[in-house]
Amino acid sequence: MTIAVTAVSLLHHRFPADFCWGVATSAFQIEGAAAADGKGASIWDQFCQLAGAIKDGSNGDIACDHYHRLESDLDLIASLGVDAYRFSVCWPRVQPLGAGAWNPAGLDFYERLVDGLLARGIQPWLTLNHWDLPQALQEQGGWAARATVHRFVDYARGINQRLGDRLTGITTHNEPWVMAVLGHQLGIFAPGIKSRAVAAQVSHHLLLSHGLALQALRADGCKAKLGIVLNMSPAMPATDSAADLALAQMHDARDLRWYTDPLFNAAYPAEVLAELGPDAPQIEAGDMAHIATPMDYLGINYYTRHVASAGQPFDAKALGLPVTDMDWEIYPQGLTELLLRLHRSHVLPPLYITENGGAFKDPLSDGQVHDADRKDYLQTHIAAVADALDQGVPMAGYMVWSLMDNFEWASGYEKRFGLVHVDYATQQRRLKDSAHWYREFLQRCHAADHRARV
């Protein structure tokens, strides 16, 4: 016990002075204002209308009403003492049809957001696509259509023209695997399509648009750091049987290497192309080289590992292992293992953990949330990042998912990931114990940095 407390209290000593600490959100999950000031519809506005699509029957119409509470939410972010805030732009808010005319009110909102962050000394990290594609583009084929790649590049250039000079980082896409597989293969996320072939084509177009956007932004003189964010749950075999090992390797190839191999080596894993057969994506000459355009950083979203079992499905909860309210196993050492393995396999740019956190029940009592489980989750995962740093992995930052409770996609508002509790009836924000802990931890990090400098 004493050892654990000491380790936690010394955790801040394990990070370099320029390590970037932040919190993250996305537009659809917090903004609300679904039809305000000329905003167009997104595929998530549309998807939420489908009966049964969202567990609690909710939608993003109001969410955390962040659009109307920008100034006080910026103060809230600043009160945590973070270095960086990762947010996304809602494409149909700034360009309602995904092509052609821009919406001045939407652009003004993000300008106030960026300037408000800078005025508070916080680095803006902007994500261009956190899943809310304009519905108008979906009606022309969405990400399955190659034309959307070019619409995205135009959109990226427009955002850069307006905001690029004040951004620290730009992420092209958040979690292409989720958009491709959950959105187009399993159909449980927007746009609700169920086709392996479409999903494969979508993943290729997302990666291609990433590479082309990087090239276009650099040609336009963009100085922000440019990269992509991948969700990664490293696959591990349930037992050392040959069947489990083979399955884990296949999961790794489908879910991780399908993205990292083209980004770093300009090729899809051969075994996945073979498995897809006629469902493999159409790839035009030059596409793979575009995808492998060098990045300034790679963002990694880590929540849990994937345990591959050829027999009974692995069920961490049933086995009595620690899980979050999403029933995701809490497995911090998987983060260190993942980072070391990436470091061994590739020449990496700086790595940022762009999302990490947990959903927990979070009962509110006397205006407080004593979320010891989230605090433990964050401490053990931050320690896992420190372990990777100690072993030479080029870690540059860590951002908590999420700043505040928000719309958790198909789970609606039932799952709470925030450092800050949101009362959806009143929109009151309250710092949970984990937020107080994170703030104190960052104060210690920054005080140690200050001492190191003087």
Residues 6+ apart with CB under 8 A from 72: 429
- Complex with ligand IFM: residue 30 or 212, whichever CB lies closer: 30
- Complex with ligand IFM: residue 26 or 138, whichever CB lies closer: 26
Give the DSSP letter of residue 209.
H
Question: In the complex, what is the shortest distance from the CB of residue 123 to ligand IFM, in angstroms, rounded to a whole number?
Answer: 20
- Complex with ligand IFM: residue 355 or 362, whichever CB lies closer: 355
CA distance linking residue 85 with residue 20, whole number of Å: 10
Question: In the complex, what is the shortest distance from the CB of residue 88 to ligand IFM, in angstroms, rounded to a whole number?
Answer: 9
Question: In the complex, what is the shortest distance from the CB of residue 417 to ligand IFM, in angstroms, rounded to a whole number?
Answer: 6
> Is-contact 138 33, C-beta < 8 A?
no
Residues between 326 and 355 that touch ligand IFM (CB under 6 A): 355
Among the options 31, 329, 355, 408, which is catalytic? 355
Question: In the complex, what is the shortest distance from the CB of residue 237 to ligand IFM, in angstroms, rounded to a whole number?
Answer: 24
CA distance linking residue 354 with residue 397, whole number of Å: 8
Q: Does 301 bind ligand IFM (CB under 6 A)?
A: yes
- Complex with ligand IFM: residue 244 or 408, whichever CB lies closer: 408
- Complex with ligand IFM: residue 172 or 301, whichever CB lies closer: 301
What SS3 state is found at 409? helix
Question: In the complex, what is the shortest distance from the CB of residue 312 to ligand IFM, in angstroms, rounded to a whole number?
Answer: 25
Pairing type for strands 428-431 and 420-423 reads antiparallel
Q: Does 434 bind ligand IFM (CB under 6 A)?
A: no
CA proximity to 192, closest of 242, 135, 240, 146: 135
Q: Compose the 72-111 pattern: x for residues touching ligand IFM by CB under 6 A, - for all others.
A: ----------------------------------------
H-helix or E-strand spanning residue 381: helix 372-390
Rg (CA), the chain: 21
Contacting residue, 31, 73, 175, 255, with ligand IFM by CB under 6 A:
175
Query: What end-to-end distance do the CA atoms of the chain give, in Å?
Result: 34
CA proximity to 58, closest of 83, 34, 88, 22: 34
> Is-contact 352 398, C-beta < 8 A?
yes
Among the options 175, 271, 275, 284, which is catalytic? 175
Question: In the complex, what is the shortest distance from the CB of residue 265 to ligand IFM, in angstroms, rounded to a whole number?
Answer: 25
- Complex with ligand IFM: residue 25 or 380, whichever CB lies closer: 25
Q: Compose the 19-38 pattern: x for residues touching ligand IFM by CB under 6 A, - for all others.
A: -------x--x---------
Place of tokens 């010394």: 10
Place of tokens 């899943």: 131
Query: What's the burial of 199, exposed, middle or buried (CB within 10 Å: 0-12/13-18/19+)?
Result: buried
> Is-contact 129 184, C-beta < 8 A?
no
Contacting residue, 85, 331, 408, 431, with ligand IFM by CB under 6 A:
408
- Complex with ligand IFM: residue 413 or 441, whichever CB lies closer: 413
- Complex with ligand IFM: residue 26 or 103, whichever CB lies closer: 26
φ, ψ for residue 383, nearest 5 deg: -65, -35
Q: Does 401 bind ligand IFM (CB under 6 A)?
A: yes
Residues 6+ apart with CB under 8 A from 320: none
Can you read off the two tokens belonging to residue 134? 């304009």
Can you read off the two tokens belonging to residue 200? 């494969």
Residues between 191 and 210 that touch ligand IFM (CB under 6 A): none
- Assess whether 175 carries a catalytic annotation: yes
CA distance linking residue 54 with residue 52, whole number of Å: 6
Question: In the complex, what is the shortest distance from the CB of residue 301 to ligand IFM, in angstroms, rounded to a whole number?
Answer: 5
CA distance linking residue 5 with residue 322, whole number of Å: 20
- Complex with ligand IFM: residue 26 or 129, whichever CB lies closer: 26
Question: In the complex, what is the shortest distance from the CB of residue 169 to ligand IFM, in angstroms, rounded to a whole number?
Answer: 17
Q: Does 127 bind ligand IFM (CB under 6 A)?
A: no
Question: In the complex, what is the shortest distance from the CB of residue 372 to ligand IFM, in angstroms, rounded to a whole number?
Answer: 20
Q: What is the largest CA-CA distance in the chain?
A: 63
DSSP string, 10-35: TGGGGS-TT-EEEEE--HHHH---TT
- Assess whether 139 carries a catalytic annotation: no
- Point out the residues that are catalytic: 175, 355
Residues that bind ligand IFM (CB under 6 A): 26, 29, 175, 301, 355, 401, 408, 417
